[in-house]
Structure formats: structure tokens, C-alpha cells
Structure 1
Amino acid sequence: MSKAEESADVAASVAEQPFIGQRLPRKEDRRFVIGKGRFTDDISVPGMLHAAFVRSPHAHARIRSIDTEAALKLPGVVAVITGRELAEFTSPFVCQQEGAAPMEMDALPVDKARFAGDPVACVVAVDRYVAEDGVDLVEVDWDALPPVLDMHHASDPGVPLVDEKIPSNLHTRETHRYGDIDGAFARADRVVKAEFRSQRLTHVPIETRSVVATWDEGREELTYYGAAQTAHILRTTLADRLGLSENQVRVVSPDVGGGFGLKLPLFREEFTVAAMAMRLKRPIKWVEDRLENLTASNHARDDAVSVEVAVLNDGTVLGVRANLWADFGAYAFYPPSYIINVIGWLLLGAYKIDNYEYTVNVAITNKCPAGTLRAPMAIVTWASDGMMHRVAEELGLDPFELRRKNMLSLDDQPYQSAPGYPYEALTLREGFDETLAKFDIDAFRREQADAAEKGRLIGVGIASVVEPTTYGSAWYKASGDDGSGHEAATVKLEPTGAINVTAGIVGTGQGYETSLAQVVADALGSSPANVDVRLGDTYIAPYGMGSRGSRGAAAGHGVAYLAAMDLREKVLGIGAHLLQRPAESLKIVNDEVVTRSDVGVSVPVREIARIAYNDPTSLPDGMLPGLEAHRTYDPPFMTFSNATHLCQVEVDAETGGVTIVKYRVHEDAGTLINPMIVDGQVHGGVSMGIGQVLLEETRYDEQGMNVSATLADYLMPTMDTVPMIEVEHLETPNPNTPQGIKGMAEGPVQGAVASVALAVQDAVARSGGRLEQLPFTPSRLLGVLRASRSG
């Protein structure tokens, strides 16, 4: 069977299911609408104390001493702890990276603060107000040091070390080569260069970081309530660093007001609160304020990409060399080269390019640590499509024709990219062609020329997105990471016929309570209304890798479907025994096991459940009581989805303002469980991408002070920024995943960053301007336009 036939076969099997593919309203929304959501800050425990943190006012400074005496005398202050004291009963976090020096991070700094906002002491008091007053009374004697702020010069002679246990501020420099890169450049008619620079961003979820930690002295158990995208991994980390066994730690992630990658790691503040709850044997709460969120929560995307493209005069791309830089900030929660390597792996994007070399450079600086932000590789589609536009400009060719010439189609797949990634069932050229068929580019170019004569600048950008969605364990092994890509789920059919589901993924606003119910209901011939989904509690959920990347659909829903199908097999086995029919002649419809041919021959699932639990002697010989299935699933090496984004803009030549006139998305995420939820993911991701291109930026001054520390300075997209977004779906199932699910969530950010940036570049190019640095703010646009006029 060909791969196309396999995809068609998967699509046909999905078509038989009544709920997969339906736009069902989200079950979880009711409790939010009526104000009954339960977030971490809603949790209150008798006797609860509150924490606040003393933070460094310097970007780089030694800690000579910390005097806590005055704070401890303040009525209501219960305890003050420093990094040196915490180190006596906790272990540091050590980030390992193959081939590079490990980076060690204490719960709180012992000797030196490495960025402005670095937490150096914790005050615990009867309420947050007293705790904050106590913070003001802690005296720190600082020895300020020169800050390291420029990643490109972080390792220059005479620059102080940010982490004195590491020999250089250039933590990582490594080169990866694929194919005959030297031969490709030797054969080229021309070498074209291009630059792409992304600014530093942060997450800004509505719900900031927060934790409530309790210690049960009788049972010697720690309970950690907090937004945790990877609850089990967080439990393991807590146990390791606090000297506990995992059965002494429970992590509960209640309703989450936005994760976006921020709520993946165990931050030092949350860990300190947990350690202090154990030490004081009292419950403690800490809720991050917005200033702390903007200055001390992980930042992201401070990346630069330089490319050299070897091309023939007809536009054929022979090879690419790339130089990638990342400013990782002061500490590491992840292997420092991880994210920039993802950009390297994906930089060839939608194009057939066999010869490739990239070098990654990761610098440590005196800025807030960097981490993952939804689509941490957001720059990659702008760079891959942007370099093709730069080639077309140099060769005097139409950029869309040049891109199409080098672009992958379904007929080219399965295809292995130069770095070894398997592309399958991706409709890259097909989606690109469909987008162009619905947008008359020739008519637009005429309109663009007419507008230019009248002093108006309009442009169009089309982005071809390749989105990695699910990383299997084989990928982690190949990339030198000891992580796992597996997921786990348990499905139970209770004696009343009700269905309960739990899994290792954690809901952070994606609608999992609805979409998981749809998948399981289809497998068990029930209704989503009969399926209850509970996530984010390590006492009941099986050990899984959580919600990160875009793995929730293919991995999390895939394993739930497999578990439900295992349970279905048992239900049908009991039904076959009771009805005296072969199991293969039966199916489950509307909570009844029925025959495929004999009308009226059936048995209710509830009766089967009653027998399974309360009358096991009536079960088939050798069958154990109960109706429960546990399943683990390790996805393929890597799965991908794809999309095409089109953005049309107008740039005001007098103010530098950008108006988005049209935005259209052709998304192919394989089998869609709930298209309405997918549309919501597209809308949210596009909005975030627009924010990166036009508005958002975390800036530091020469002393290393964050000067974007309020929402008046760190600008976010609003209703007047985000246009109407048209979404159309292509559904090309992946033949290698359960139900053909690919997943999606981060691709819309990639697509928006690329299409909006390309559209603005297209508009400005008409006046001779060139843009390489995000964000494209009015001041930056005006500067480029003025320079082009005077040049």
C-alpha cells in the first residue's frame, strides 16, 4: 500500500467516527464563564503563609553579605532565608549538555547575582504585604561588576565571566554538516547572503507563576499546587533536589491561565517555597507580580540567523551555510544549545536542499535566563522563506515562482531533510498553490505599483510553515538528550457505564477536557458527555511527559485513543460472550454493544460494566474483573504538520504604522479532533506572531536594567492590532500516528512571524528599504524609509 493510500485509509476509518472532527463546544468553558475556575491563587490552606523575594538591583554583582536581622524583627515575618542557608539542605539544579560544560544553579544565588531581578533571599510572613515590607528591610552588601550584555562580544578579551565555573561566556560553538556543502558552493553561479534578527521576548500569560506548597508532617508528604505543564517531570525534580522519594511528592496543576512554555521548568522561586514549606512545616503561597513576570520569568527568542545560499542562475538552491546565535541569559533550565539547534534543524523549511552546514553559538549574558516560548523556533520560517526572497531579488526572479521551484510536494514524500528529519504527508506545495490560486498575485502587483505612485506602501507575505509537533524518544536519543517522548493514559469504564480518563498531558487552556472526551467516546461508542477527563494530578495520572511543543494531540490524544481501543476490545469480548456472537461481528453504538447485522440483538454497556465489576463469574473464562486499560505510546522519531499563511499589509509612510489588511491561513494538521479548537489555536498563535513582528520587545540599558518592565513599555497586541483571520483546513492524515493525528499549536506563531515580516519587507522594499531586525516598530520603519530616501 502506498503512503497516499495509507493516508486515505486512515481518513476513511476516521470518517466512521461520530465525534472526531466535530466542532463541539468546550466542556471546560462553563466553569470559567460562571466564575468557578480554580487557579493556583484561588487555593487557600489554613495557616498559610506568604512569600516574597529580595531581588538584585544589579545585573552583575557579588554578594558580600546579607543582613536579615531587621526583617526578622518585623511583626508578622516568620522566616528569612538566603541562598547559602538553602544550600545546606537542598541540591542545586545541574543542566547537562553533551560536549559542553554543565551549568549549575542553586536554589538562590550564594555568592553572586547574575541579572537584575535575580532572587537572592526569601521572606516568609503572615501575608504578602508584610512579606514585601520584610523584603525592604533586608540589607544586601553588593560589589557591582561590569555586566555582559552583547552575545556577539560576550567572550571578548577582558570581559568578566558570568558563571565562573564555566571557562567562557561562549558556552557552545558547534558545527553540523550534511551532504557535500563545499561542492555545492563550488558549483554555484552565485552566493547570496541574508540576515535575520529576532528580539528578546517574554511570555506575559494572564496568570503569572504561582505556587502553594504544603507539608504533611504526619505522612511526611509534600503537596505542590501550581501551574505545571509537565507535572510528573516537576515531581521528579522536586524529589531529587529535596532528598525525597517520589511517593512523598504530589504535584497538582489546577486550572492554568496560560502556559506558553513558561510553566515547564521548576523555577527557583517555586522550589524555594516548597523547600521552606518543608522547613517550617507550614503551607506557603507565592504569586508572581507583573513586574517580576516581565523581569525575572524566562525570556526567549533572542536569536540571530545569518545565511549564505549557493544558487544557480535559474534559481535552483544547491546548498546553505548558516551561522546561528542565541543569547541564553544568566542561567540554564534547558541545555543551552537545544533551542538554537532546533532552529538549525528546521532552517531549510519547506525546501529540497541536500547540502547544508550550520554553526550554533550560544552566549551566557547578564540578562534574565532564556527558555521556551510558544514556538521557540519562531524565527525559522521567516529565515527560510526570507532567504528565498533574497535569492529571488538578487537573481531578478519572481520570489513565489522560485520558492515553488525548490519546494517539496506530496509526490516527494516520504522525504528526509538534510539533517535527517522525516517529512511525510505534508502538503507544502499543495497548500502554497491553493493559497496563490485564491490570491491574484499579478493583480496585487499592479495595485502595489499604482499605490506606490500615490505614496502608499502595500505589501504581501506568504509563509510556508513546517511545524514539528511530536518528538519520539528516538529523537531525544539522536539529539544527545536523555529525555523521553512517550506518553501515557488510563481509561476506565465504571460500573454505571461512566467513563473516566486521565493522562500525562496537562491542560493549560487547549481544551483537552473536550477533545480527549471526543477521542475516547468514539473508541467506546459513547458520548463525550459521558466522559470525564482529569489531568494534572500526579496521584491519579500516569507518568507522562506533559504538555510542551505541540505534542498534546498526536502523543496525548493518540495514547488515550489506544487505551480506549484496548478497553473496547475487552467490552466487545464480554459482549460476544453474553450474546453468543463472534466479537468481530459486534460494534458499540450509543453505549450498547450491537451486532453489525442482526437488528435488535444487543446488550447495554452498563450491563457489561455491572458484570465486569459485580458478577465476574459471568465473564469469559480467564478474563479478569474490571474495565480499565492503561497504555503507553512512544510516537515516531518526529511528526510534522504544515500550513501556508498569507498576510497583506499597508505601511503608513508618514507614521511608520502598519495595518494588516488581510490574513488567511491554510492549515494541515492531519485529522482534526475538534476544528473549532484548532481554529482557536490558529487565532491565538497568529496574534502572538503579530505581536513579535510589530510590538513586543524586552530591552536592556547599558547597565543591564530591564527597561520594558511594565505593560506600558512592553507592548502587547490588542483588538485593534489583530485582524479578522480566515482559516481553511486541509486534512492529510499522518499514516504513522493513531487516527492520523499530526497536532499543531506553535506553527501559527511561526507562520505569522514570517508572513507579517515578509509583507512589511515587501511594502518597504518598494521604496528601497531593507529590514533585518524585529520588531518592525514605527520608529524603526521610519528610520529605514528615511535612509532609503536620502540614500
Structure 2
Amino acid sequence: MTAAPFTQIGRALPRKEDARFLTGAGRYLDDIAPKGTLTASFVRAPHAHARILAINAEAARALPGVVGVFTGKDLALWTTNLRLAPPIEGLHPVEMTTLPIDKVRFHGDPVAVVVARDRYLAEDAAELVDVTYEVLPAITSAAAALAEGAALVDDALPDNLVSHQSFSAGNPLARQTEAARVVETQFDLHRHTHAPMETRGCLADWDRGREHLIMHIGTQAPHPMRSALASRLGLSENQVTVISPDIGGAFGQKIALYREELTVAALARHLARPVHWREDRLENLTAASHARETRCVTRAAVRADGRILGLELKLTEDFGAYCFYPANYMARVIAMILTGPYKIADYAFDVKVVLTNKCGNGPMRAPMAITSWVMEGTIDAVAHALRLDPLDVRRVNALGPADLPYRMATGELLEDITPLETLEAVVAAVGVPEFRARQKAALAEGRLLGLGFCSVVESTTYGSGFYKAAGIPGSGHEAAWVRIEPSGAVNASVGLMGSGQGYESPLAQAVAEGLGVMAEDVNVHMGNTDVAPYGMGSRGGRGATAGGGTLFLCAQKARDKVLAIAAGMLQINDTEGLRLFEGRVELMRGGAWEPTGLTLADVAKCAYLDPTNLPEGVDPGLDASLTYDPPPMTYSNATHACEIEIDRATGALRFDRYLVAEDCGTVLNPIVVQGQQQGAVAMGLSGALYEEVIYDATGQNLTATLADYTIASAVEMPNIELIAMHTPNRRTPAGIKGMAEGGIMGAIGVIAGAVNDALVPLGVSAQAMPFTPPRLRALIRSAGSGAPDIPRKERP
């Protein structure tokens, strides 16, 4: 399949926003400071689980400059509770107050808030607030949460199992009786947090005269944020404006309305003063939101040639103390798309989500990150159990061109993807026989080399149909408007908000392509709910497909009106044979496009300033709006490969090579796509090798600084070789598929494969991340002791 002959889509344009970011001219939350702004500082629980017996704030209130100290009881008067109760079988309804009133549930839970004239005073006063607690047993693991008689994290629930769903297609148990082997494998993905460069924060400004709230907040989803604020403050949506300035990273952490932000908005209204809050790094690492911490166990029934006849998945997720999202959401996506690029008709899953006394979970870039590791790790385990080449097992199970479109066992439709092609591309680029020769020679010298492969099928659009099928309330549509001003200048808007992805250039290119102008002449406005149309925001890799696709369609709608007016100005009966190209109206004559002498500016001037000369039935002005609901799900795909070496003495891991063959459909801007690929891989590798949120047995967060929660730098990252293999999707505007999260999925899976390939000669396997030097060193030292990291039931 060949791409359409685009002229603006696909150009390697520099990111528009980089000029202001690199010159210090960006406008972030802390650059906004209305006169008389107060500062909020939160008092946070030192215990993971405790009843609140009393709060004494007299000493704090006595400090000059302190405006007030407020507790959960105060906030309950000004806000409503958050209740999540989607009608999903096996999912318990949950409800929470804005701030805790009766008990705290994790180390860092906000108990009270101090408002003062400046941050220094607010933080000093917060330390003077005396809270009396009755400490309760802390639940710090999924196993402890599920244990008989376990303390309840949420007293309103019957137990800590907040969500439990099962599914089966075909007959996986029957396939086990037919199989040559049943291979069981376990995977433990540890707890992460997002750690954006810019922590959470907001500035709430209540206009008492107009009874209107302006909320300045770095958010990925401005309109859902506005809806949530209005609902929980008892306001109409026309009383709330959300304005998102430039955002220094989000990665999923800046989607939901959290308790601190709602508290600040309520205080601004109560005090009739602007109130600002910015969390520090310790607060961000302990109390913003966490992610992952998932254990998966697979049982694969296989033939002697490695063909998977049936697959079972048991998944348990530690969701933390609070649910800001339906508890089954992230885990369900993992289970839904687990089989990915492989032909597996008989499949069953059992998914459990539990509450513990840890910071609550939310989506983090690639909520389904573990998916590819589990599937590729299962493939590798099958190969080891049967003493087969892992590549041969992949090939015998992989979806090829003749298999597409393919309906997964869960009902998901895969089409216009190329998993077998990308696999063969990286296999050829690596030169597997040559690597195996080097690996054998290195082993003779006592060195451990490893080669990993990971094929990724990445879910992107999350259309409304997906949410309905999953039983989750919500929409996946996007909305846009395009307006040509009287001078011919082009403005556009969409309901997304970028947080560092580089949206401004590729979205301008989508508009330019649909309209027929140069991308440099398009200005895209995002992040202001009074300006942008109501859309669902940026998440799940939907920016290009939902956002860019909607703008492309809307621009085509605007173009059609431009050409209708141009036809009238040229005294032509219809628009057949007319086009707008780089802002000029052209006419097809004799098989070639010829200039008509009209420009977009000429047409715009007529549309706005000379409406009596418009064709019959054409209204004055040049603006178009459009909403678009993409397919329930579209998929892009990639295959990752990497070569590594593990130092036997220290456990240190070094990259020798890293490759990605990527198919993400029509590319709006190759510079942006390359950056997203590189950034996603780096984030995935950092999480797999270094990052880890650690709690002790009492529920204390031991990784509350960046000295303890370690993030990889550029020094530790490999050079990433990219192989472009893009094919368009036939169901989306311009053939866009989307991408940005698959790099994390591939990085996690490929590094696990490479590590275990290096450890095969030692008879041990690494099945719990992160693969830190101490962990790998311990594994190497355990070789021959019969004590691998996590036993694999089947091993050659």
C-alpha cells in the first residue's frame, strides 16, 4: 500500500514550540501571578494507614500572614464526593471525599491545607499543624491485600479486591490436553511513577462579581477537567474556564482532577482570592499518582513446533489506596490486547485489581506496558522449554499478511499492521548468525552477551466504541474548528493539549494538508476551554489519529467552502477541477493545474467583507467545525531488537546495539515521530533498568527523592537505529495510525529478552524488574544454586 501524495503531511518541519522553549520564552504555570495571589501548602500523613483522631491548627493559624487552615470537613461543605460506579460486573463502586476526614490511606495522603501570603510561610505553618493518629495495619502488597482477614483499605468495601473480571474464548483447558507441553511463566512489573520535569500545580482565580472560576492548570484534557471541576464545585460549566499553559511533561499524570487541585479551586472561591499551589518533588514522588505494579502468570499449551494452541493469563494489579479511574481500566487493556501479533484463538484471562496502602495508580505512558513483555517472554519460555530457536517460534505463531484482517479472541480487530514484516526487517538488520558467533566466542571468554526481540502491537485511538465495549463511561471523539480570517490567516483549534509531544507543527500540517495552504501559515490553538471545542484531550497515543485526523477533516470542510466561493468569483458553475494549493486557487486545464489569479486572501475578503457577491446559499464568513469519532481502536506496530552485555562481576548492563522497525501509518511530521520513538524507548528502558517505587513493610515510601528514585540519563541510553516501514490505515483520515507508547512496550519486552538470552548459559532467568546491577549480579551468583529470580516451571 502506498501513501497518498501529500504535500504538507510528512514534511520534516521543526517543532514550532521549540523556539520559545529553548530561548526561555515558554509560559508555564509559575509565570502566571495575578496580584494578591495566595499560596497553598498541604499537610500530609506520615503514616500509610491511620485513623484521624484530631487536628489542631491553632499554632499555624496564629502565624502572621496565614489566611487559614482547612480540613476535610471544611472541603466537604464546598465540594461533592468523587464517586466511580460504572456498571461493570465484578467492579466495586468507590467514593472518596475531597480530603480525608476519618482516616488516611497512604504515606503522603493530604490531611489539611494551609493558605498563606507566600510559599515559605505556608510550608512553615503546615509543619505546625498537629494531627493525632491511631495507626492501623498497613497493606503493602497484593498478596497481603488478598489475605484472609486483611485490614480494609477502603472501609466501605467488603474486601480489598476492588475489581475482578474473567473472560474465555474457545477452550484453553481442552487445548492443554492436546498439547505437547504446557509452559507456565511469571512476570513481575514493579511500581513506577511519572516524574515529569514540571510537577503538578494550579492557580485558581474566582471572579466574585461574575461568579466565574478561571483555573490555570497544566492538564492533558482541559474539557474533561472543566466538567469535573464544575460538577464537584456545584457550578455550571459556563462558570468555569480551564486554561492550560505550557506543560513540562505529564505522561498520564495530568489527566484526572486530583484532590489537591479541587481543594485549591474551592479555596479560591471561598476566599475570593487567587490561590496558587505547586507540589515539590517529594510530594510528586510520593503523592501525585503511581502506575504499573502488575504480576502476570501465563500458561501456554503448545505443539512440539512451538505453535501456541491455547493461552491463559492470570493478572493481579496493585492499584494503591484510591481510585481516580475505574480500577479495571488499565488491567483490562492489558488483557484485551495481550496476544498482540500472534494467532491465538483459544484464550482466557482472570484479572484481579486490589487496593493497598500506597499512592493510587493512574495511567502512565503505555498503561499496557507489560503486554509485549508478557507475550514475548511467553514465546521465549516456549522456545527454551522445547529447545527451539525463539525466532522460529515467533514465526510459526506470527500474523502474516494473509491472516489480516484478524479478529483477536477478545474481539479486537487487527488490520493494516505488519508484525511479521517488521520482525524480519530487524532480524536481517541485526545479522543473527553473526551475533550468535560473537556470543559463543564471548562466552568462551567468560562474557555474557544477549540478544532480544520484541514485537509490539500498540493500541492507539480509543474511540467511543472501545469504551462502550469495555463498560467504561466516556467518549473517544475529538472536535476541531478551522477559521480563515478576512486577511486569509488560518487559525485552528482542537480539544487536545500537548505536554511536550510537539503537537503544534504536525497538527498545523494536518490542517494545511486538508485546506490547501502551507503549514507555516497555520496557527493551532489548544488548552483554553473558552477557545477550543470540547474534546477528550491527549492520552493513549490518540493525538495524531484523533486530533490530527479531526483537524484534517475539518480543514477539508473549510476548503470546500473556499472553493465554492472561488467558483462563484470565477463564474464557474461548480468546484470540479478547482483546488487550493499553497494558498492559491488553481484550475485544471488540459491535464495540468493552472493559476486562476485568486488567492485564499481574495476569497476570505469576499466571504467576510463582500457577502452580497457570495454564491446563492453560501453564508458569510469562513469557519468550519467538526467532530470525529475514530474507530473503536486502531493499532500501529513495531519490532525492537537489542544486543547487550552483562558484566559478570558487577551486574552492570551495557547496550551494544538497539534497533526499531516501526509502522505507525501516515507520518504527520518525521522529526516529531522520531523524537517520540526515541523518548518512548528511553522511558521504557529507564523504567526497566533503574526506576522503582519502594515501600517498606509499614508503608513508608523509601524513594521520595530523585537520589532514590533513579531515572536514566542520556549517558545510559543506547543509540537507537530506526527503520521506517510505515503503511497507512484504511479507516482513519489520511491513513494515520498513531504512536508514542509502543516504544515503552517494546523497550520493556526487548530488554527482558536480551537479559534472559544472556543468562541462558547460567541456567537462571530474570522475571522481575527492574534489572538493576545488584539484581543481575545476584542472579549470576545464584547460578547453579537452584535459586533463580522467579522459578520458571519449564526450562530446558
Q: Same fold (TM over 0.5)?
A: yes
Q: Any residues of structure 2 matched to 1:246-265 within 5 Å, and which?
A: 246-265=237-256
The answer for the alignment partner of 1:170 in structure 2 is: 161
Per-residue CA shift, 1:196-216, capped at 9, x if unaligned? 100100011100001000000
The one of 744, 753, 775 aligned to 1:749: 744
SS of alignment partner, residue 596 of structure 1: strand
Q: Do structure 1's residue 559 and structure 2's residue 550 form an aligned pair?
A: yes
Per-residue CA shift, 1:695-732, capped at 9, x if unaligned? 01000011100001111111101122101111121111
Q: State the AA in 2 paired with 1:36.
A: A
Confirm or deny: 8 A CA contact 2:584 2:595 kept in the other structure: no
Confirm or deny: 8 A CA contact 1:695 1:717 kept in the other structure: yes
Q: Do structure 1's residue 47 and structure 2's residue 36 form an aligned pair?
A: yes
Quick one: distance in 2 between partners of 1:368 and 1:601? 64
Give the Å deviation of 1:119.
Answer: 0.3
Q: Do structure 1's residue 595 and structure 2's residue 587 form an aligned pair?
A: yes
Per-residue CA shift, 1:207-239, capped at 9, x if unaligned? 000100000011100010011111100100000
Structure 1 alignment gaps of length 5 or more: 1-6
Give the Å deviation of 1:521.
Answer: 1.2
Give the Å deviation of 1:260.
Answer: 0.2
SS of alignment partner, residue 629 of structure 1: strand
Quick one: distance in 2 between partners of 1:441 and 1:730? 20
Q: Any residues of structure 2 matched to 1:511-526 within 5 Å, and which?
A: 511-526=502-517
Q: State the AA in 1 paired with 2:77.
A: E
Per-residue CA shift, 1:493-543, capped at 9, x if unaligned? 000000001111111111111111111112222111211111010001000
Give the Å deviation of 1:409.
Answer: 1.5
SS of alignment partner, residue 198 of structure 1: strand
**How much identity, in percent, do the aligned residues show?**
49
SS of alignment partner, residue 302 of structure 1: strand
The answer for the alignment partner of 2:27 in structure 1 is: 38
The answer for the alignment partner of 1:729 in structure 2 is: 724
The answer for the alignment partner of 2:680 in structure 1 is: 685
The answer for the alignment partner of 1:25 in structure 2 is: 14
Give the Å deviation of 1:182.
Answer: 2.7
Structure 1 residues 343-352 or 98-107, which shifts more?
98-107
Q: Any residues of structure 2 matched to 1:226-625 within 5 Å, and which?
A: 226-581=217-572, 582-597=574-589, 599-625=594-620
Q: Do structure 1's residue 738 and structure 2's residue 738 form an aligned pair?
A: no
Confirm or deny: 8 A CA contact 2:460 2:634 kept in the other structure: yes
The answer for the alignment partner of 1:189 in structure 2 is: 180
Quick one: distance in 2 between partners of 1:762 and 1:111? 51
Per-residue CA shift, 1:409-452, capped at 9, x if unaligned? 22211111110111011010011011111221122112111111
Per-residue CA shift, 1:456-511, capped at 9, x if unaligned? 00101111000001011111111101110100000000000000011111111111
Structure 1 residues 122-131 or 342-351, which shifts more?
342-351
Confirm or deny: 8 A CA contact 2:455 2:639 kept in the other structure: yes
Quick one: distance in 1 between partners of 2:450 and 2:198? 36
The answer for the alignment partner of 1:85 in structure 2 is: 74
The answer for the alignment partner of 1:671 in structure 2 is: 666
Quick one: distance in 2 between partners of 1:371 and 1:107? 17
The answer for the alignment partner of 2:781 in structure 1 is: 786
Q: Do structure 1's residue 160 and structure 2's residue 151 form an aligned pair?
A: yes
Quick one: distance in 2 between partners of 1:658 and 1:241? 49
The answer for the alignment partner of 1:720 in structure 2 is: 715
Structure 1 residues 521-530 or 189-198, which shifts more?
521-530
SS of alignment partner, residue 301 of structure 1: strand
Q: State the AA in 2 paired with 1:135.
A: A
Per-residue CA shift, 1:279-329, capped at 9, x if unaligned? 000000000100001100111010010000001112111010110000000
Q: State the AA in 2 paired with 1:753.
A: I
SS of alignment partner, residue 242 of structure 2: strand
Give the Å deviation of 1:600.
Answer: 4.3
SS of alignment partner, residue 141 of structure 1: strand
Give the Å deviation of 1:85.
Answer: 1.3
Q: State the AA in 2 paired with 1:78.
A: V
Quick one: distance in 2 between partners of 1:744 and 1:349? 15
Q: Do structure 1's residue 124 and structure 2's residue 119 form an aligned pair?
A: no
Structure 1 residues 90-99 or 110-119, which shifts more?
90-99
Q: Residues 280, 458 of structure 1: CA spacing in aligned structure 2 closer, same or farther, 3 A cutoff? A: same
Give the Å deviation of 1:589.
Answer: 1.7
The answer for the alignment partner of 1:94 in structure 2 is: 83
How many pairs align? Answer: 780
Quick one: distance in 2 between partners of 1:259 and 1:596? 48
Confirm or deny: 8 A CA contact 2:585 2:595 kept in the other structure: no
The answer for the alignment partner of 1:180 in structure 2 is: 171
Per-residue CA shift, 1:158-210, capped at 9, x if unaligned? 32101000110111222111122232222212110001100100011100001
The one of 755, 758, 763 aligned to 2:758: 763
The answer for the alignment partner of 1:3 in structure 2 is: none
Per-residue CA shift, 1:122-146, capped at 9, x if unaligned? 0000000000011011110100001
Quick one: distance in 1 between partners of 2:513 and 2:445? 58
Per-residue CA shift, 1:716-753, capped at 9, x if unaligned? 01122101111121111000000000010100000111
Per-residue CA shift, 1:37-56, capped at 9, x if unaligned? 00111110100000000000
Q: State the AA in 2 paired with 1:594.
A: E
Measured on the aligned residues, the alpha-carbon RMSD in Å equals 1.0
TM-score (norm 2): 0.97
Q: Residues 207, 600 of structure 1: CA spacing in aligned structure 2 closer, same or farther, 3 A cutoff? A: closer
TM-score (norm 1): 0.98
The answer for the alignment partner of 2:789 in structure 1 is: none
Quick one: distance in 1 between partners of 2:292 and 2:498? 24
Q: Do structure 1's residue 647 and structure 2's residue 639 form an aligned pair?
A: no
Q: Residues 600, 658 of structure 1: CA spacing in aligned structure 2 closer, same or farther, 3 A cutoff? A: closer
Per-residue CA shift, 1:552-584, capped at 9, x if unaligned? 100000000000000000001111111123311
The answer for the alignment partner of 1:4 in structure 2 is: none
Structure 2 alignment gaps of length 5 or more: 787-796
After TM superposition, where is structure 1 displaced by more than 6 Å over at least 4 residues in a row?
Answer: none
Quick one: distance in 2 between partners of 1:44 and 1:252? 14
Confirm or deny: 8 A CA contact 2:514 2:554 kept in the other structure: no
Q: State the AA in 2 paired with 1:59.
A: A
Q: State the AA in 1 paired with 2:579.
A: K
Per-residue CA shift, 1:14-49, capped at 9, x if unaligned? 31x211111111111111121110011111010000
Give the Å deviation of 1:599.
Answer: 3.4
Q: Residues 316, 264 of structure 1: CA spacing in aligned structure 2 closer, same or farther, 3 A cutoff? A: same
Quick one: distance in 2 between partners of 1:698 and 1:714? 7
SS of alignment partner, residue 211 of structure 1: strand
Structure 1 residues 22-31 or 171-180, which shifts more?
171-180
Confirm or deny: 8 A CA contact 2:333 2:368 kept in the other structure: yes
Q: Do structure 1's residue 75 and structure 2's residue 64 form an aligned pair?
A: yes
Confirm or deny: 8 A CA contact 1:349 1:385 kept in the other structure: no
Q: State the AA in 2 paired with 1:587.
A: R
